[in-house]
Structure 1
């Protein structure tokens, strides 16, 4: 299964790298189900909203 959260280490309080926690399998499965059904998944961008608000979905 894939996860919706990037799994890159993040800086800790003392500058050390702290691994990101993994998403729970139930969330990962639910997010995949929603995405397959064309629904918006929390934590992802909404291209329709970005279009309506004039934001670019490619980071510009």
Structure 2
């Protein structure tokens, strides 16, 4: 998981909880702030761990 803050001031977000249902982000070391974040989540769907990764869709 990758979290990117969008703020004019210093922002130190950290993911403190993650699951298949939610992501919880808090400021690092008690800092405070209010800003938007973008996030990217990469994972493997349950039941697909043994499947081959398709790197070039045209090759299918």
What is the TM-score normalised by the length of structure 1? Answer: 0.22
> Which structure: greater strand fraction?
2
What is the TM-score normalised by the length of structure 2? Answer: 0.22
Considering Cα pairs closer than 8 Å and 6+ residues apart, tell me whether 1 or 2 has the greater RCO: 2
